[in-house]
Amino acid sequence: MAETRHRKPRAVDTLLEKIKNRKARAGVIGLGYVGLPLSMALVEAGFRVTGFDISSEKIKRLNAGKSDIDDVPDERVREAVRSGRFLATGNPKALSTMDTISICVPTPLSKTKDPDVSFILAAMDWVKKYIRKGTLVVLESTTYPGTTEDLILPLIDRKGFKVGADFFLAFSPERVDPGNAKYTTGNTPRVVGGVTRDCTRVAKAFYEKTIPHVHAVSSTQAAEMVKLLENTFRSVNIGLVNEVAVMCNRLGIDVWEIIDAAATKPFGFMPFYPGPGLGGHCIPIDPHYLSWKLKSLNYYARFIELAGDINSQMPEWVVQRIGAMMNRRHARALNKSAMLILGVAYKRDIKDIRESPALDVIKLLEDKGCRVYYNDPFVPHFAWRDGVMKSSRLTAQLIKKVNLVVVVTDHSGYDYQWIVDNARAVFDTRNATKHVRRHRQKIELL
């Protein structure tokens, strides 16, 4: 009788089976605006999740069931910890027990607008040391096309692991929109691209356990490019409408009326709205990753650079408008004026101030000698210059005291009619006062 030979299961089949049965141990490096929502989605899909972070304060807070992310309430974290399926740690040795590792660290720009991948490389210092065979590694941090295969792949290759056989490597861009109650980590479609076909298979199977719609693309470079296209699309269109706002001001036309009228067309037009500048981690930064990469290929991305220039100049234009408004209405110079900034978060109803144009507006006003107060119900204080700037209590007395109220972030909790009623004048960069009926003569729009 011939001896029966049993083939050892392939690593891809073993990992797919673990994912299918939710037996895979999931690791998430970076527990911020991307990593924490992903961790909670994985826990709620039935996985055991270990979150890794370098902040001991954050680790302690999360293990106590407390969240510091707008879109993740404390109760969600408490339940995850209570269930025993979530643990935060700063010990990288725990990576050696993970079946999947998702890298969700920041990717800022340097002062020269070059990509800063130091956080990715720091995460990879952990991964390359402790990764075991049969592990899926997914980079979620936004970056330039080629990062996954140029930076991450060689580091793991040096261990003698073969991609697509001994480990699986993919890119899946995060699509977090802070403050969006409709589209979250749990229902926003995913894009995944792997180094090999099996890499893509495993990554797709992993995300399909938490998200109904996963779209696979041909490569990690394609997946990296998808995210850059999404945010470059927004940046360029916002740049266009910001320039239109400047044009309309010169022409004496209400840009908000123009946009609302154009938006009645049921095809061929998508409304974007002007504002005091771009904020957040993605839209002001991501297009520069693409532009930087293309410069290395001797190509100048004209649309991207032009949109970036227009958007970055908006805070200065806002301050110019404020100065003109003070001269025209009150014959008062900025260095003899007091301003109240309403909202410093980069968008409505969140506490995130990353890249917020409000900070630029405040700095420019202070540099001109203006006395600046701010109120933001979501941001009680923030580090400022050599100290801390604190939110002032929003009272009728304060509103009447300042020369001008400037709406920079249109939080939904503000009573704009009451604000206008009590203000001497209002400069509204977001059209937040569009429903105000009394005292409209006090208002000027961006």
pLDDT one-digit tens code per residue, 295-341 = 989 999 999 999 999 999 999 999 999 999 999 988 889 999 999 99
pLDDT of residue 28: 98
Amino acid at 104: C
The C-alpha atoms of residue 122 and residue 106 are separated, in whole angstroms, by 11
Share of the chain above pLDDT 70, in %: 98
Tokens 């807070």 belong to 61
Q: What value does the mean pLDDT take over residues 5-29?
A: 91
- Whether the pLDDT of residue 1 is over 60: the answer is no
The helix-helix angle for 286-295 and 302-312 (nearest 10°) equals 140
Handedness of CA 421, 425, 430, 434 (dihedral sign): positive
Single out the residue of 264, 333, 295, 288 nearest to residue 143, CA to CA: 288
Distance CA 52, CA 271 (A): 40
For 111-115, 150-154, 378-382, which range has the lowest pLDDT when averaged over its residues?
A: 111-115
Give 239-281 pLDDT, tens digit per residue: 999 999 999 999 999 999 999 999 999 999 999 999 999 888 7
Instruction: Express each pLDDT in 132-174 by its tens digit.
Output: 999 999 999 989 999 999 999 999 999 999 999 999 999 999 8
The DSSP bridge partners found for residue 171 are 139, 193
Q: What is the pLDDT of residues 385-436, one digit of tens each?
A: 989 999 999 999 999 999 999 999 999 999 999 999 999 999 999 999 999 9
Amino acid present at 198: D
Q: Which of the residues 104, 199, 282, 370 is marked catalytic?
A: 282
Helices (H), 375-415: 396-401
Q: DSSP character for 115? A: B
- Cα–Cα–Cα angle for 339, 340, 341, rounded to 5 degrees: 115
Q: Which DSSP letter does residue 409 get?
A: S
User: For residue 5, what pLDDT band results from cuts at 50, 70 and 90?
Assistant: low
Contacts of 172 (CB under 8 A, 6+ apart): 138, 139, 140, 190, 191, 192, 193, 203, 207, 223
Residue 104 catalytic? no
- Which tokens belong to 18? 């673990």
Tell me if residue 340 falls in helix, strand or coil: strand
Per-residue CA distances from 329 to 7, 326, 342 (Å): 84, 5, 20
pLDDT given for residue 54 in this prediction = 96
Q: Which domains does the chain have, with CATH numbers?
A: 11-218 (3.40.50.720), 228-311 (1.10.1040.10), 313-445 (3.40.50.720)
pLDDT value, residue 385 = 92
List the Cα angle 301/246/227 in 5-degree steps.
Answer: 35
For residues 266-304, one letter each, b for 16 or more C-beta atoms within 10 angstroms of the residue's C-beta and e for the rest, the string is: eeeeeebbbbbbbbbbbbbbbbbbbbbbeeeeeeebeeb
**Cross-strand partners of 48:** 25
Give the confidence band of 191 by pLDDT, cuts at 50, 70, 90.
very high
Whether the per-residue pLDDT at 11 is higher than 70: the answer is yes
Burial letters 179-196, b for 16+ CB under 10 A, else e:
eeeeebbeebebbbbbbb
Show the CA angle centred on residue 130, arms to residues 125 and 133, nearest 5°: 125
